Amino acid sequence: MKKSFNSFGIMLGSLLILCCVALNANAAFQITLAVGASQLTLTDEVAGDQSLGTPGIISFNGSFAGYNFNFVGSASNTPGAFDTATLRIGTLLVEDAGAGAQLVRLVASATGYTDPTAPPMAFGISSASASSSGNTEVLASFKAFADQGNTNKTAAGGSILLASTAPVALSGGATSTPAGGIVVPINLLNPGYDLSLEIDLNFQASGGKVNTGAFTEIAGPESIDFPVPEPASMAIWGLGAAAMAFAGARRRKLTA
């Protein structure tokens, strides 16, 4: 039996290879695994990354600190009319291989994003999903940030909060995702920023197994499905509102 609420889809892995432009070679992309106090950082196009030769993608299938991991992550920046800055961890399997109950954390971090910016206008769009297998008992949570510091992080953080979910208890095959994804407007963001996202899996007992994935992106108004007023339209609306207010004040003065 499974219980669920809506997500952008568990097929995040297939999205990793859609038409995206990998970050420039001088941009840093890394994924950090943490099991308890043990930590391993994988860097794009550096030994340990099992997708050498494909910049902007990090993959790993192996064991670390008593847990098995199998995942693909990507970072991309697509400038132009449909500008997006994207960071993903997809098709992620985490399984206890003898360490027992532990806090398992995965953090993706990438720097060098230049587009989109705000102003004129940008939105943060984030989503995550997790499902447990068998008798797994785990608390799952997710958060994502953008930051003008433009530095890599081993724990997600920054000046702009894009998403944050409270821990959700998963057991007996339960599935959890942020309902419909999380969308936030961004008021100020200059070229040269970083994105970071974090998946926390707090295993409550040994033998746990979880499938999960997450993404966060910054999108310009042309890249999203709901209508956003153009700056010129907003200015015209503002002038109209001011004119209406002036006319109302003038009428009140004439009738006084």
Looking only at the bridges linking them, the beta strands covering 29-35 and 103-113 are antiparallel
pTM for the predicted model, two decimal places: 0.77
Please tell me the predicted confidence (pLDDT) of residue 239: 35
Q: What are phi and psi of 71, to 5 degrees?
A: -155, 165
What does the pLDDT look like over 97-139, one tens digit per residue?
Answer: 999 999 999 999 999 999 899 888 899 999 998 888 877 889 9
Nearest C-alpha neighbor of 88 from the set 64, 67, 107: 107
Nearest C-alpha neighbor of 137 from the set 197, 214, 203, 184: 203
Please tell me the predicted confidence (pLDDT) of residue 121: 82
Question: Is the distance from CB of 90 to CB of 60 less than 8 angstroms?
Answer: no
Q: What are phi and psi of 55, to 5 degrees?
A: -55, 145
pLDDT of 48 above 60: yes
What does the pLDDT look like over 139-154, one tens digit per residue?
Answer: 999 999 999 999 999 9
Round to whole Å and give the CA distance between 218 and 146: 9
Round to whole Å and give the CA distance between 84 and 222: 10
Please tell me the predicted confidence (pLDDT) of residue 151: 94
